[in-house]
Chains A and B, each alone.
Chain A
Amino acid sequence: MDRFDFDSDRYKLNRGLAEMLKGGVIMDVTTPEQAIIAESAGAVAVMALERVPADIRRYGGVARMSDPKIIKRIKEAVSIPVMAKCRIGHFVEAQILEAIGVDFIDESEVLTPADEFCHIDKRKFKVPFVCGARNLGEALRRIAEGASMIRTKGEAGTGNVVEAVRHIRTIMGEIRRLQNMPEEELIIAAKEMGAPYELVLYVAKHGRLPVVNFAAGGIATPADAALVMQLGCDGVFVGSGIFKSENPEKRAKAIVMAVAYYNDPYVLAEVSEDLGEPMPGIEIEKLEEHYAERGW
């Protein structure tokens, strides 16, 4: 494929799968047992990992793709889609994940980047990709590379929603700005954002990204999940927030309810009750490493 083909059947199917996840919660899991808990709590998909981001932070070192055996065991345990992470730019890890039949690949800044210049050319794959973004330019560059879904980066493994909120507000604000621009200024906006002009035109016309946009990075409570939904996200990734909390099963169910009823404070109050301790949170200023700064 030598140019961006928005209307190819494969890209339609892959964007379509992401559309089917809208209004849902995607949960990080490290074992088949956790995957089953996530599925029965109502997760729309699971992210199969060796370590959740909070542990990746704690252990340090180079974080890589998980052992394919772990991913395959999780795939056997559940019927919902299974996602897995590869390093930014590591297209061979992506080839391996495609070969074992994962349903979605997350080219993720939570793992240590393998390439400091290029992301993966995702158009070369049949399997869909989700990528992180902090702003509209970054989101549109990832879509131009073939991403079928975007998520905010937030700051993974912190249990602190502040960065996810910053990234959602930035992307939504930039979309609203494009919508209000006279057409002749859009090419300048494309230049400034480092984003393809065709995609800038799409966003200006439709008032949203051409793919779904989830929130990720720091969501720990049902209220956090409803907050990012009310800010305009299509769904939620919860990484460490569930299985690093005191009562994962109850919290997982509560977050699923909170996303389905994100506009209903009475339901939100009900599901927020008596969940036990959330994961411990970290202030962003105290972080040694900001994962959100990874990616280009």
Chain B
Amino acid sequence: MKIGVLAFQGAVREHIDMLLKLGVLPIPVRKREDLKGISGLILPGGESTTIGKLLMDSGLKYDIIEMARDGLPIWGTCAGMILLAKHIVNQDYTYLDLMDIWVRRNAYGSQIDSFIKRVPVSPISNSPLELTFIRAPYVEKVGENVEVILELDGKIVAVREGKLLATAFHPELTEDLSFHKYFLELIKN
């Protein structure tokens, strides 16, 4: 199975290493032809303004939107969550417009406010998972078809809408493969 990782910028290597550990073939995606034959796509953490601009300039934006509408599973981590959102509350434009979520960018403040929490995430793991929030967004509100996977201190930080998954934190920066396994299950079912 081939899984695309949007490879303009950010935590690309980390996602690729984790996919290799799970025995699937990661495909770094920079051009339209890289999207051919992938069964899922990961939008990594990084800077959403940079990745969003390159999505536009490369022409990948509309291909990804079309593939998502045809059922391609997509998982966005941190910046990837912002790229997926239909609503960004503190910005007047959006990117892929795919998930019915209201996202706040840099919602926790600057880098000194970044933090790590260890909590179980019920459908994914019963033991505590390390959740790394780096200048992270969170979700203020969700549409009716969106399932909230995790709320932390009253803020929504992981959501799923059909085959689309978004996490405000970075499972790719930890040693734990649970979220990547969960995404692969989502692709298979």
Task: Tell me which residues from 83 to 110 in chain A have a Cβ below 8 Å from any Cβ of chain B.
Answer: 98, 101-104
Sorting the interface of chain A by its residue count into under 10, 10 to 19, 20 to 34 or 35 or more gives 35 or more
State whether B134 touches A22 (Cβ < 8 A): no
Q: What is the bound-complex CA distance between A228 and B2, given in angstroms?
A: 30
A230 to B: closest C-beta gap in Å: 15
Most chain A beta carbons < 10 A, residue from B11, B45, B110: B110
Within 8 Å CB of B116, what residues of A?
A: 9, 12-13
Residue in contact with A16 in the complex, picked from B8, B57, B109, B170, CB distance below 8 Å: B170
A186 to B: closest C-beta gap in Å: 25
Within 8 Å CB of B78, what residues of A?
A: 20
State whether B50 touches A42 (Cβ < 8 A): yes
Within 8 Å CB of B135, what residues of A?
A: 17, 20, 81, 103
User: Which A-chain residue is minimally distant from B79 (CB atoms)?
Assistant: A20
Task: Tell me which residues from 193 to 226 in chain A have a Cβ below 8 Å from any Cβ of chain B.
Answer: none
State whether A17 touches B114 (Cβ < 8 A): yes
Q: Which of A139-147, A255-263, A282-290 contacts B (4 or more CB under 8 A)?
A: A255-263
Most chain B beta carbons < 10 A, residue from A12, A16, A17, A81: A16
Type the 1/0 row for A34-59, where 1 means its CB is closer than 8 Å to any CB of B.
Answer: 00000111111100000000000000
Q: What is the bound-complex CA distance between A102 and B173, given in angstroms?
A: 23
Q: What is the bound-complex CA distance between A256 and B110, given in angstroms?
A: 24
Residue in contact with B111 in the complex, picked from A12, A40, A44, A103, CB distance below 8 Å: A103
Q: What is the bound-complex CA distance between A81 and B165, given in angstroms?
A: 25
B9 located at the interface, meaning its Cβ lies under 8 Å from any Cβ of chain A in the complex: yes
State whether A13 touches B134 (Cβ < 8 A): yes
State whether B11 touches A20 (Cβ < 8 A): yes
User: Which A-chain residue is minimally distant from B8 (CB atoms)?
Assistant: A260
B87 located at the interface, meaning its Cβ lies under 8 Å from any Cβ of chain A in the complex: no
B14 located at the interface, meaning its Cβ lies under 8 Å from any Cβ of chain A in the complex: yes
Task: Tell me which residues from 115 to 159 in chain B have a Cβ below 8 Å from any Cβ of chain A.
Answer: 115-116, 132, 134-135
Which residues in B have some Cβ–Cβ distance to A below 8 Å?
7-14, 30, 45-47, 49-50, 53-54, 57, 78-79, 91, 105-106, 109-112, 114-116, 132, 134-135, 170, 173
Which residues in A have some Cβ–Cβ distance to B below 8 Å?
9, 12-14, 16-17, 19-24, 39-45, 79-81, 98, 101-104, 126-128, 256-257, 259-261, 264
- The 5 nearest A-B residue pairs measured at CB: A23-B9, A103-B111, A44-B47, A42-B53, A9-B116
